[in-house]
Structure formats: structure tokens, C-alpha cells
A and B are shown apart, each in its own frame.
Chain A
Amino acid sequence: GQNIDQPTEMTATEGAIVQINCTYQTSGFNGLFWYQQHAGEAPTFLSYNVLDGLEEKGRFSSFLSRSKGYSYLLLKELQMKDSASYLCAARGGGYQKVTFGTGTKLQVIP
């Protein structure tokens, strides 16, 4: 089966750092995606982690621990435009499908 958990909402201050956690239980786990979705728009690909460890891409970093079924997305130097939903998605199971969590709605405040 597939089960993905992430916080529903988070609030952080402009210029600060925020960490969005995601835990998953996915049979035949292959890798983990993070997406950003602004209201009324399609999800935008941020990262895909297959191996354990931290991957950095500018202000955004993503971490994976396969043994713990755990990932996080780290956003540095927060900007107002980072206010969006962040979706964690695990790839695995039959046909290697991607299953999405419910998303974390991040609000960046001045």
C-alpha cells in the first residue's frame, strides 16, 4: 500500500528557513518527488531523490532517508513568492506509480 503524511499548514517569516517534513510507507519504493503548487496552477517539479542524503538546488534542498521512510524539503531565504502548497510524492508499487500526499500549504509572512 501507499501512505504519505505531511503537515497541512505551516507559516514562516520572509528571509527565514523552513523545513517541510514528509513520511511515507510505500511498497517497492523507488524515489521521492517534491513539487510546488501555487493556487490555481499546475504543480511544478522541484526535486527527485533516489539515494539517501541531501541534494541542494539553490535556495531549495531535499533530503531522503530510505531506511526511515522520511524526507524533507528545506527552503532558505524565504521570499513572499514561496507561499504555495508543497507536495510530497512517492514512487513505487505496481507500475511504479507516483502517489501524492495531501500537500503542505506554506504561508510566508513579512
Chain B
Amino acid sequence: SAVISQKPSRDICQRGTSLTIQCQVDSQVTMMFWYRQQPGQSLTLIATANQGSEATYESGFVIDKFPISRPNLTFSTLTVSNMSPEDSSIYLCSVRSAGGPGETQYFGPGTRLLVL
């Protein structure tokens, strides 16, 4: 199984500032994703991080608000820009390995963000 680390694990930020979250995987993976989980709710996909090209964003999420980088197959960053209290959430990096019946998708430990 892939081992995923995220930094920071948690942060408290002021309204209007930006935070960049890093995701590091211990092996090369084809697909990396960023999810958000708001308090008491399930996971919502923000975007698919593509290596060497622009991320693919889901409906309701835009690049100006959530810029994403993926310079190689093991690393990605998500920036939460111009934060407001509504951005308070857990942000999770996820990776998918292999394909077919043996496929798995793992999650990092998450970054807990509180915006004041």
C-alpha cells in the first residue's frame, strides 16, 4: 500500500490569507486527487492533480481559489486562496494505484484547517 504524508497536519489561519498543503507519496502513482471533508459530511472531490499539466476541477471548484501543482509522480500541492471561514474543513490527498480488480485508492492523514 502507498504511504502518504501531508503537511501541515493542521493550521489556524486568518481570513483573506492563503495556505499551501503538501502531499508526498512514497511511490510513483498515476493518479492523485484532492478532497475536502466538511464537518459531519462526506468527502467531496475538489480536483484531479495531473502531472505536468493543469488540474481537472470538479463543478463548484475553480483554479483561482484552489490552485494545484503536481511537478512529478510523487508530490502535489493544494493552495486554499483568500480563505474565509467557509473554507474550514479537512483537506485530504488521495492516490490511486494499479487498475482493475486489484485497484486501490488510499488517503493521506488529512490537513485540518480552521479559518477565523
The interface of chain A, by Cβ under 8 A from chain B, is 31, 33, 35, 41-45, 48, 50-51, 87, 89, 95, 97-103
B37 to chain A, nearest CB (A): 9
B110 touches A95 (CB 8 A): no
Chain B residues within an 8 Å CB radius of A51? 101
Given contacts A87-B42, A98-B33, A100-B43, 4 further A-B contacts (CB under 8 A): A45-B105, A95-B48, A97-B58, A103-B42
Q: Which residue of B lies closest to A6 (CB)?
A: B42
B48 touches A48 (CB 8 A): no
Instruction: Report B44-57 CB contacts with A as 1/0, cut-off 8 Å.
Output: 11001000000010
A33 touches B48 (CB 8 A): no
Of B56, B92, B106, B109, the residue contacting A45 (CB under 8 A) is B106
A43 touches B43 (CB 8 A): yes
A31 to chain B, nearest CB (A): 7
Chain A residues within an 8 Å CB radius of B101? 31, 48, 50-51
15 pairs, CB–CB < 8 Å, chain A vs chain B: A31-B103, A41-B110, A42-B92, A42-B107, A43-B43, A45-B1, A48-B101, A48-B105, A87-B42, A95-B48, A95-B56, A99-B45, A100-B44, A101-B42, A102-B42
The CA of A101 and the CA of B100, in the complex, are separated in Å by 21
The CA of A98 and the CA of B44, in the complex, are separated in Å by 9
Chain A residues within an 8 Å CB radius of B110? 41-42
Chain A residues within an 8 Å CB radius of B56? 95
The CA of A99 and the CA of B44, in the complex, are separated in Å by 7
Given contacts A97-B45, A100-B43, A101-B42, contact A42 B100 (CB under 8 A): no
